[in-house]
Chain A
């Protein structure tokens, strides 16, 4: 290779022949922004962000695909290049849901709302799980872009929730092609690629099939390489960015792949490839199932011992004592141990040593396919089972059964002592894989830190039994002893076909448990057909169910309208009141503001944004189904009288809610000005309904793509500036928005009532969950509200109270795929 020299931004740079200008710049320590470029991928030249000026060359070539040449003179950040890059970024943003990036209230928004909302569709950054890691966002900030000259084109593509483990929303896709290219690189024949052309171009599978119906191996590389939130890991996405990264190994099958663990607050939130190469690829279990196994709600967390009544939770010492005392009486062939194959070498060494030296038994069995005769037949009197290997029945003649596991099992029910243990990547040590490699594991990720690994428990039992030679403090101590002993180790047989090549070949069992019982999203790989038939069954009309959904649509992205038949409520409800809905018997009781009602038809209409489990349940309903429960009307109606000029401000779900108030305020002789706030033009809805109900409709958008740029507070200031005397304001929307509006109306001296949306349980005044401080007095939003005096509300306290269950809200989100039926979005924002 010959060396060449070129000049970049006035610096002489020496590079190899064949290097690109981009590589040269990077070698010189000069930052050139990129998006489609990725160290694991070949240069692509799609995003045009890396354009440079090269003397003597026409135009502005992308540095990533331009070979460096001897004597080249390159400028990477001349004013013309900076301007052009800004244009490139703006064009990229026009194909991305980015109104938040140019919002006037971005700074307080991110301060008061540190985590994005758990939406079904990311209609903007505040609703995008990838907000804090988004590369596009970083570029926007770097280039200080505060205005979008090219309006955002929302593509209205259906969001793909139908596959296990990943969500795909190509409305966020900037067509960098990283996903398709990495897929091809790793699997040779890629699952995803560009389809269609020109402005219709998008990423998809052949014939737009769900991934589970293609040869996708669910390695997750596409998710991990995506620079935006277009592809996301359903489980990890709402936990936010990891605070620690560590390499370990997945030992769930003999392949024993290296994995890179990402943890947050001590919890493993994701496990991925250690490099974007074919050699480093992992299977669906290593990528997606592993973290969910560790964090499973079924996880055993305490040791138990049997008393006359049944099992009781107990401390570690008590469990050890009972185990040690019980085992003493059964040395030799009366004892057997069953160990999992998913264990470290050190662990297996200690378990074997215990069986042989302490129990003097030869019955050390690893991952039995069938129960050995000695156990089933009654020769064995004391059994130590490290998993669910007994198929639910305690063999006759067994006097002592000690179980050690991570999950509750059928075996456990008849056990005398149960140890809850750490396992898999929570333990350190080494693993001998099928290729004969010794993989090193790190236990730094250990989630429930109070739990010990099996080898430690067994050492402690051995010590209680008076045995020596079990004083290992770390797995390194064990490894040292292993090095001096003559342990014979043979690599396990490689699974055929490899789970790396075929998703149906992924490991299914761990410690005798079917992993799909714990991580149910896996089931689709094994029972796809069966499941489909079940889903195709018509929805049965249930007797005695009263609350039928007559209409259901996604009026604008992530904003759902549901009309329910509830004549008793419709007859009595007044503007400003709310209803409590439970979609299923297992649902929360959730308050929804009444957005419209029809006394004649007996219907109540709600508009809601999907932003968590309960609103998702409602968003996932379809017309013809029934809500499990629906009660109301609750709360106090708005005070209707002649104020003079009334301003009604609604944002997000609040847009619908101001409609009935506008009607009655108008009827009462007020001049009614409605302000509809949306982040961008594609989220505006019901303008026609609002226009018909009020004297003036003011539209405000955060990106300025329709109406004036800004929020309700800017619109009110504008009205005040032009001389409107506003006598009363009613504001409905998110807490943050109402707080900002009240800051403005307080200065303008406008009495402002705001609709509370705190956490609630019963909604009828019984629990006090919804309490809000108003002028130092505690009010219950459900019976004193929902409208309370916004100028006197303690907004910070309210927001803190709303965040009370933020971790549970993430955990509550179901991980199973959602059926692919597309509810359809009305592409025309206005509805008749």
Chain B
């Protein structure tokens, strides 16, 4: 297909990605979509108009050369497509799965104006998976060592991106991770059925093969401070410690047994593999009826995990469906599997029994008023509409605050009133010389790809800093990645 004009309409519709039957997947932890076949991928790739001034790229926080890699797929050069992706993106198999493409690159696709945009995310996923399955991972040639040492604190999406970019520029990179495995939110937060952990491991192993040193079980802020890392010979430091402090509802009864933060609920299952108890030692949360509170992706992840652990699963959300910050696809998947949504409903207290265990939750009906600061219509309680839902588990999925460990032990770092680190939005440089930060620790809870975008920017600045000793402000040109709004 050789489109000459941009206006030329595609001859074929956007290709669907085959998925596991919802009746089956609601009781397993296997990944939901199977991914494109080669045929489907080539067909989808052929829809791309290969615009001269591709708008899609401007929507991508990490500037992937989207039309280029799609063209390679169309030509059947799948491995080459993966390599093309990796020029910009160290974790394509991850981002192909968890990026909200519909609000970033795909929303800008010309085809989307009149029909459906090219399925950029699915193609990215296809190429990355193809390379991984082929075992034909290309290790690029690295430039001669610069002799500079970089410490990265936190092996989440931001930190891994910085590591990938800086190791490719010849710097010696060490990642410090507090948990026992690398990946941050990719391994403790996002469930297996949305992002198989083997994929994260593969992408992290790729970094290792490039020469990145990774120290797990290393709690910077406790075992070492930022200043001590400088003393130990690191030339520049990146802080990507994420937003790991869970928020609770601040209503009576929140400490009853059976109220678990979404972080705890998901960490038990994802990181600690409690769904394989008792082979794994961490106890699973066995519930009959789970109420998840919130409307973001984390709420969807929790509610869908609850289903898979055998419970009846209900999401309670105080605004209407339109205001839900979760990706449309996640809401769709959740409902398809059998999660029930109760919108315009807000919990007012948790009710427990004599043993201190949750037996019900009291909620109040809400209605929408005038828009608030976030632009969404403000939910207002309907007087006298309180009602009780019997349940044994309540999961507040209301977002997370930044992890305070580093800020607490690093006096030189300025923080905002929300506890996030102050960093220049263009260079990601913090108030401390040589220290950069990015991801949720700067923005508050947001998305994987925005963290990776910040990682990209930080890596560029850090490289400049390492080579010249200073960081110049770049020209303003990039559009900031859409952030998931915090509920």
Are A586 and B280 also in contact (CB < 8 A) when A766-B245, A773-B255 are? yes
Contact of B281 among A310, A587, A783 (CB under 8 A): A587
Q: Is the CB of B283 within 8 A of A309?
A: no
Q: Is the CB of B222 within 8 A of A766?
A: no
Question: How far is it, in angstroms, between the C-alpha of A604 and the C-alpha of B247 when the chains are bound?
Answer: 33
Task: List residues of A (571-599) whose CB comes within 8 Å of B's CBs.
Answer: 572, 582, 584-589
Q: Is the CB of B263 within 8 A of A632?
A: no
Task: List residues of A (608-624) whose CB comes within 8 Å of B's CBs.
Answer: 613-614, 617
B263, chain A: closest CB distance, angstroms: 5
Within 8 Å CB of B248, what residues of A?
A: 768, 778
Q: Is the CB of A808 within 8 A of B284?
A: yes
Contact of B277 among A310, A629, A808 (CB under 8 A): A808
Pick from A382-390, A502-510, A796-804 the stretch touching chain B. A796-804
Are A768 and B264 also in contact (CB < 8 A) when A631-B178, A805-B283 are? yes
Question: How far is it, in angstroms, between the C-alpha of A630 and the C-alpha of B246 when the chains are bound?
Answer: 24
Question: How far is it, in angstroms, between the C-alpha of A463 and the C-alpha of B180 when the chains are bound?
Answer: 56
- Give B248-290 as 1s and 0s: 1 = Cβ < 8 Å from A's Cβ atoms: 1000001101101101100110011100011111111010000
- Give B90-128 as 1s and 0s: 1 = Cβ < 8 Å from A's Cβ atoms: 000000000000000000000000000000000000000
Decide yes or no whether B471 CB sits under 8 A from chain A: no
Within 8 Å CB of B15, what residues of A?
A: none
Decide yes or no whether A811 CB sits under 8 A from chain B: yes
A248, chain B: closest CB distance, angstroms: 27
Question: How far is it, in angstroms, between the C-alpha of A569 and the C-alpha of B272 when the chains are bound?
Answer: 23
Contact of B24 among A311, A613, A773, A812 (CB under 8 A): A311
Decide yes or no whether A307 CB sits under 8 A from chain B: yes
Q: Is the CB of B180 within 8 A of A764?
A: no
Contact of A767 among B23, B24, B267, B355 (CB under 8 A): B267
Are A778 and B254 also in contact (CB < 8 A) when A309-B21, A631-B217 are? yes
- Give B323-361 as 1s and 0s: 1 = Cβ < 8 Å from A's Cβ atoms: 000000000000000000000000000000001110000
Q: Find the A residue at minimum CB distance from B20.
A: A309
Q: Is the CB of B267 within 8 A of A778?
A: no
A480, chain B: closest CB distance, angstroms: 39
Contact of B279 among A302, A582, A586, A797 (CB under 8 A): A586
Contact of B219 among A310, A632, A769, A812 (CB under 8 A): A632
Decide yes or no whether A321 CB sits under 8 A from chain B: no
A756, chain B: closest CB distance, angstroms: 14
Contact of A801 among B20, B27, B216, B255 (CB under 8 A): B255
Within 8 Å CB of A794, what residues of B?
A: 255
Contact of A797 among B223, B255, B284 (CB under 8 A): B255
Q: Is the CB of A801 within 8 A of B257?
A: yes
Within 8 Å CB of B272, what residues of A?
A: 588-589, 761
Question: How far is it, in angstroms, between the C-alpha of A767 and the C-alpha of B395 when the chains are bound?
Answer: 12
B319, chain A: closest CB distance, angstroms: 24
Question: How far is it, in angstroms, between the C-alpha of A761 and the C-alpha of B263 when the chains are bound?
Answer: 10
- Give B18-32 as 1s and 0s: 1 = Cβ < 8 Å from A's Cβ atoms: 001101100100000
Q: Is the CB of B264 within 8 A of A812?
A: no
- Give B426-462 as 1s and 0s: 1 = Cβ < 8 Å from A's Cβ atoms: 0000000000000000000000000000000000000
Q: Is the CB of B264 within 8 A of A767?
A: yes
Contact of B223 among A309, A614, A632 (CB under 8 A): A632
Q: Is the CB of B21 within 8 A of A312?
A: yes
Contact of B283 among A584, A586, A765, A812 (CB under 8 A): A812
Within 8 Å CB of A805, what residues of B?
A: 283
Q: Is the CB of A613 within 8 A of B223?
A: no
Within 8 Å CB of B27, what residues of A?
A: 302, 312-313
Decide yes or no whether A286 CB sits under 8 A from chain B: no
Q: Find the B residue at minimum CB distance from A582.
A: B180
Q: Find the A residue at minimum CB distance from B221.
A: A764
Task: List residues of A (791-832) whose CB comes within 8 Å of B's CBs.
Answer: 794, 796-797, 800-801, 803-805, 808-809, 811-812, 814
- Give A613-646 as 1s and 0s: 1 = Cβ < 8 Å from B's Cβ atoms: 1100100000000001111111000000000000
Within 8 Å CB of B24, what residues of A?
A: 307, 309-312
Decide yes or no whether B244 CB sits under 8 A from chain A: yes
Decide yes or no whether B72 CB sits under 8 A from chain A: no
Within 8 Å CB of A297, what residues of B?
A: 278
Q: Is the CB of A630 within 8 A of B260?
A: no
Contact of B246 among A310, A614, A767 (CB under 8 A): A767
Question: How far is it, in angstroms, between the C-alpha of A589 and the C-alpha of B264 when the chains are bound?
Answer: 13
Decide yes or no whether B218 CB sits under 8 A from chain A: yes
Within 8 Å CB of B356, what residues of A?
A: 796-797, 800-801
Contact of B403 among A584, A630, A765, A769 (CB under 8 A): A765
Q: Find the A residue at minimum CB distance from B250.
A: A778
Within 8 Å CB of A589, what residues of B?
A: 180, 272, 282
Question: How far is it, in angstroms, between the C-alpha of A628 and the C-alpha of B280 when the chains are bound?
Answer: 14
Question: How far is it, in angstroms, between the C-alpha of A634 and the C-alpha of B278 when the chains are bound?
Answer: 27
Task: List residues of A (266-306) whose CB comes within 8 Å of B's CBs.
Answer: 297, 302
Decide yes or no whether A709 CB sits under 8 A from chain B: no
Q: Is the CB of B263 within 8 A of A767?
A: yes
Decide yes or no whether A308 CB sits under 8 A from chain B: yes
Question: How far is it, in angstroms, between the C-alpha of A309 and the C-alpha of B282 when the chains are bound?
Answer: 31
Decide yes or no whether B224 CB sits under 8 A from chain A: yes
Decide yes or no whether B188 CB sits under 8 A from chain A: yes
- Give B220-235 as 1s and 0s: 1 = Cβ < 8 Å from A's Cβ atoms: 0011100000000000
Question: How far is it, in angstroms, between the C-alpha of A811 and the C-alpha of B222 when the chains are bound?
Answer: 35
Are A768 and B217 also in contact (CB < 8 A) when A308-B21, A800-B355, A805-B283 are? no
Decide yes or no whether B210 CB sits under 8 A from chain A: no
Q: Is the CB of A614 within 8 A of B216?
A: no
B225, chain A: closest CB distance, angstroms: 9
Decide yes or no whether B405 CB sits under 8 A from chain A: yes
Question: How far is it, in angstroms, between the C-alpha of A311 and the C-alpha of B21 when the chains are bound?
Answer: 10
Within 8 Å CB of B254, what residues of A?
A: 778
Are A811 and B278 also in contact (CB < 8 A) when A761-B264, A778-B248 are? yes
Within 8 Å CB of A584, what residues of B?
A: 281
Q: Is the CB of A765 within 8 A of B281?
A: no
Decide yes or no whether A260 CB sits under 8 A from chain B: no
Question: How far is it, in angstroms, between the C-alpha of A634 and the C-alpha of B408 when the chains are bound?
Answer: 13
Within 8 Å CB of A801, what residues of B?
A: 255, 257, 356
Q: Is the CB of A633 within 8 A of B267?
A: no
Contact of A568 among B179, B224, B245, B281 (CB under 8 A): B224
Are A633 and B223 also in contact (CB < 8 A) when A297-B278, A761-B282, A778-B255 are? yes
Question: How far is it, in angstroms, between the C-alpha of A310 and the C-alpha of B248 when the chains are bound?
Answer: 39
Within 8 Å CB of A587, what residues of B?
A: 281
Within 8 Å CB of A307, what residues of B?
A: 21, 23-24
Within 8 Å CB of B286, what residues of A?
A: 808
B403, chain A: closest CB distance, angstroms: 7
Decide yes or no whether A771 CB sits under 8 A from chain B: yes
Question: How far is it, in angstroms, between the C-alpha of A811 and the C-alpha of B357 when the chains are bound?
Answer: 20
Q: Is the CB of B223 within 8 A of A572?
A: yes
Within 8 Å CB of A633, what residues of B?
A: 219, 222-223
Are A764 and B178 also in contact (CB < 8 A) when A307-B21, A629-B216 are? yes
Task: List residues of A (174-218) whose CB comes within 8 Å of B's CBs.
Answer: none
Within 8 Å CB of B280, what residues of A?
A: 586
Decide yes or no whether A762 CB sits under 8 A from chain B: yes
Within 8 Å CB of A814, what residues of B?
A: 278
Question: How far is it, in angstroms, between the C-alpha of A546 and the C-alpha of B216 when the chains are bound?
Answer: 10
Q: Is the CB of A634 within 8 A of B261?
A: no
Contact of A768 among B246, B258, B278, B403 (CB under 8 A): B246
Q: Find the B residue at minimum CB distance from A629.
A: B180
Q: Is the CB of B281 within 8 A of A588?
A: yes
Contact of B222 among A546, A632, A767 (CB under 8 A): A632
Question: How far is it, in angstroms, between the C-alpha of A308 and the C-alpha of B19 when the chains are bound?
Answer: 11
Pick the 7 closest A-B CB pairs, nearest first: A800-B356, A767-B264, A808-B283, A588-B281, A312-B24, A631-B217, A629-B180
7 further A-B contacts with Cβ under 8 Å, apart from A766-B263, A768-B246, A804-B257, are A588-B281, A589-B272, A613-B281, A631-B223, A633-B222, A766-B246, A767-B264
What are 9 residue pairs bridging A and B, where the CB atoms are less than 8 Å apart in the complex?
A302-B27, A307-B21, A309-B24, A634-B222, A761-B267, A764-B178, A767-B264, A804-B257, A804-B258
